[in-house]
Amino acid sequence: MPFKFCQFISTNKKLVIFSCSLLIAHLTKAQTADSLHEKELQEVVIKAFEQNRKLKEVPAAVNYIGQQTLNRFSPTSVVSAINTTPGVHMEERSPGSYRLSIRGSSLRSPFGVRNVKIYYNDIPYTDPGGNTYLNGLGFYNYHSIEVIKGPGSSLYGAGTGGVMLIEGLNTNESNGIIGQYTTGSYHLQNAMAQLTTGNDSNKSQVSFQHLQNDGYRNHSALRKDVFSWNGNYHLNKNQQLKTTFLYSDLFYETPGALTLSEYNADAKAARPATGVFPSSEQSKAAVYQRSFLAGLSFTQYLSTSFKNTTSLYGAYTDFSNPAVRNYGKNKEPHTGGRTVFTFQKKINQALLSFNAGAELQQNFTSVEVYNNKLGNIDSLQSLDEEHTQQAFTFLQSAADWNNWILTAGASINRMRVNFDRLYPVSVSKQQRTFNNEIAPRIALAKTLAHLTFYSSIAKGFSPPSVAELLPSGSAINLQLNAEHGTNYDLGIRGDFLNSLLYVDVNAFMFSLSNTIVQRRDAGGGDYYTNAGKTAQNGIETYISYPIFHSSVFFERSLLWVSHTWHHFRYKSFKQNSNDFSGNQMPGEAPHTISTGFDLATINGFDFNISYFFSDKIALNDANTAYANAYHLVTAKLGYEKRIKNKSTLQIFVGADNILNQKYSLGNDINAFGGRYYNAAPGRNYYGGISVGLDFKKK
């Protein structure tokens, strides 16, 4: 793998020369100023596991993605930004269709985001059935992202695939209006307007985004509108209220996966007609999705040592999906809440803290499946009512003394699925309950100078999602069992060389039993089965260093690299007469590298270049088919100008996949007939302009 990277550098000398020339040009224009070092990761305060500590002091495997990382790439998607962090991989099977993998959790996700618990502004964003419509968020809804790797069940409920905490509002942002427009390849049109008002104690932000493009494959157009309002209000010194309102209207065409011969012949083609099934274009295969979320989070300081944070929300998703085999229509209202009591007290030299709380979610989903007649609803196939309730209580304690941190916590979980088939033949109501599952976690950390050494043991369980128990158009499988896993983490995090060199290294061992894996039938329908045991081990590394930290010409400079090594194998898995024990788990690259260089000059120029390498990926349990390794290079150049200290003008241009690599992203694992491949975009470009007006008192 290192030889491949060196070969890439040697064969792209023009790109390196261009970058060096650009830096020299900036140097000649620079003026003297104090150097501002990259401190985002070292100084940021992490909320994961209710720690509220600086990242380098958190005794857990946590990644942080902030504005500096998000702004390295096009303002149309967070995929590339998330993929800069080790152990986490996000895919876009086609524009608007996301998959998210934290340490291999995408094995259960042929589409969408499952087995990852996601919170948005302290509100549970994952629905009670275990599905997350992450594509309902726009790029501008992300201010920061925290990713907990490994089971987070001790505080966040059932799940073995990790946790993501998304914050949508920057309370330090200046009041004013911002308008941004981006255009580019594939007839990209991306427009955003944002209004921020308030003061240091109260902040309100309203934003709207419109995104559309024609797609890079046949039948892969996208249109998305997102309206959001976030508020953060300090009612008094003891009370804080956060409000969230989000509405998204999303449409995207689904071109479908290709066989290897079809992919090699024309990677941009949509799935052709086969046998009795029409093509994706004939079926007008697409997703029509409207989502609404309204919620609030209220924090009350009951004393100097005791506080409570309670979140309540209501959500609704209207989901329609004409596909090759049928036409599905879902109506998915759900509601829920979460409360956390926190007590913190210093006794002698020790700081003790306790967190106790509960979370409850309930949905009332109706699922209608029709025959698809060339993109139109035809006769009704089935009508189901699905009511899912998920609840858990948790308790966590932590003690800080003499540079030691000991954390211990556990949750008790319950999930109940009620299923009622109303058509074609009404059957008695069926129920499946996953009850009284205990998920503990214990972690120990020691801080020495600028370094934190930590280790943790966590057990988690993940009940099958409703989409896995009751897959649309496929057989009902209420006998599917929950996954159970144990995770061991050992890590070191901190800085060297006067806090300039930042290092984060984590090694883990994760054993999983009753692993849920996905299968796909001839018509593209998904079904699921338990797959014995897996052994998932790995090392995840992130390093950064501000190369020109002592230069007076640069406001910011950062060289960063992340590497992921995942050795994921089926420990024991037999299916009929096939024995896959010892085989590589499909869908996960053994090695990925993400690296890049950020540079900002004192006179307003900003330049980023990044490189991403993915090793080849097994596409089925038998390991007889693989997606090829690929190399991605992206670059972005921007300029910012303050006008009379009142207005801001930004201009930027960028390019993705500069090497014009042909590769498949968001592969369909274990697909029937070898339909594994979803082609990703070739070389493409974008450019944009942003204008901001500050509301400042004269």
Q: Is the pLDDT of residue 8 over 50?
A: no
Q: What percent of the chain has pLDDT over 70?
A: 90
DSSP structure string for 576-641? TTEE-TTPBPTT--SEEEEEEEEEEETTSEEEEEEEEEE--EE-STT---EEPPEEEEEEEEEEEE
The encoded tokens of residue 440 equal: 């503990």
> pLDDT tens for residues 550-567?
888 899 899 999 999 999
Query: Is pLDDT larger for residue 34 or for residue 530?
Result: 530
pLDDT of 317 strictly over 90: yes
Residue 274 pLDDT greater than 70, yes or no? yes
Q: How many CB atoms lie within 10 A of CB 32?
A: 7
> Around 304, how many Cα atoms within 13 Å sit in the side-chain half-sphere?
2
Which has the closest alpha carbon to 557: 64, 35, 69, 63? 35
Mean pLDDT for the stretch of residues 346-368: 94
Instruction: Catalogue the E-assigned strands of 133-201.
Output: 144-148, 163-167, 176-184, 188-198
Q: Using CA atoms, how far apart are residues 216 and 213, in angstroms rounded to an integer?
A: 9
Half-sphere exposure in the Cβ direction for 533 (13 Å, CA): 7
| CATH value at residue 151 | 2.40.170.20
Q: State yes or no: pLDDT of 203 exceeds 70.
A: yes
pLDDT > 50? residue 14 = no
Radius of gyration for the chain, computed over Cα atoms and rounded to the nearest angstrom: 25
Mean pLDDT of the chain: 88
* Predicted pLDDT of residue 522: 58
Report yes or no: 564 and 86 within 8 Å, Cβ to Cβ. yes
Distance of CA 612 to CAs 82, 83, 592, 631, Å? 12, 8, 7, 6
Q: Is the pLDDT of residue 409 over 90?
A: yes
In this prediction, residues 330-354 reach a mean pLDDT of: 95
Distance, in Å, from the CA atom of 38 to the CA atom of 43, rounded to the nearest integer, reads 10
CA dist list (Å): 688 to 75, 326, 660 = 9, 40, 22
Residue 243 clears pLDDT 70, i.e. is over it: yes
pLDDT value at residue 16: 38
Q: What's the rounded Cα separation, in Å, for the pair 123 and 311?
A: 6
Q: How far apart are CA 477 and CA 518, in angstroms?
A: 13
Of 356-370, 451-465, 510-524, minimum mean pLDDT range:
510-524
Going through 302-429 in order, the beta strands assigned E by DSSP cover 306-322, 327-347, 350-363, 365-373, 376-401, 404-423
Asked if 652 and 638 touch (Cβ cutoff 8 Å), the reply is yes
* Backbone region of residue 395 per phi and psi (left: phi > 0; alpha: psi in -120 to 50; beta: other values): beta
Using the predicted structure, report yes or no on whether residue 1 has a pLDDT greater than 80.
no
Query: Using one digit for the tens of pLDDT, what is the confidence trace for 118-168?
Result: 999 999 999 998 889 999 999 999 999 999 998 888 899 888 889 999 999
For the record, the structure tokens of 225 come out as 């509108």
- 466 or 581, which is more confident: 581
Helix (H) or strand (E) holding 18: helix 13-29
DSSP 514: S
Residue 19 one-letter amino acid? S
Domains identified in the chain, total number: 1
Token digits of residue 456: 């943790």
Low-confidence winner among 19-28, 99-108, 175-184, 383-392 (lowest mean pLDDT): 19-28
Taking residues 289-299, report their average pLDDT: 97
What's the chain's length in residues? 698
Torsion, CA 419, CA 394, CA 124, CA 436, rounded to 10: -10
Report helix, strand and coil shares of the chain as percent, to nearest 5. Answer: 10, 55, 30
> What residues make up the domain containing 683?
2-694
Average pLDDT over residues 224-253: 96
Residue 28 amino acid letter: T
End-to-end CA separation in angstroms for the chain = 58
Three-class secondary structure of residue 684 per DSSP: strand
Are residues 640 and 691 in contact, defined by beta-carbon separation less than 8 angstroms?
no
Helix (H, G, I), strand (E, B) or coil at 186: helix
Question: How are strands ordered across the β-sheet holding 62-65?
Answer: 62-65, 144-148, 163-167, 117-120, 123-124
- When pLDDT is cut at 50, 70 and 90, the band that residue 112 belongs to is low
- The tokens describing 335, both together, are 């509601």
Confidence of residue 108 (pLDDT cuts 50, 70, 90): low
What integer pLDDT is reported at residue 275 of this predicted model? 82
DSSP E strands, 188-238: 188-198, 202-213, 222-236
Q: What confidence tens digit (pLDDT) does each residue in 53-93 have?
A: 888 888 899 999 999 999 999 999 999 999 999 999 999 88
pLDDT at residue 525 in the model: 60
Confidence of residue 37 (pLDDT cuts 50, 70, 90): very low
Asked if residue 438 has pLDDT above 70, the reply is yes
Q: What was the pLDDT predicted at 56?
A: 83
The residue behind tokens 């998959």 is 99
**pLDDT of 697 above 90:** no
Please write the tens of the pLDDT for every residue from 173-189.
Answer: 889 999 999 999 999 99
Mean pLDDT of 511-540: 78
Percent of the chain with pLDDT over 90: 67
Using CA atoms, how far residue 621 sits from 45, 100, 103, 500, 663, in Å, is 41, 20, 17, 44, 21
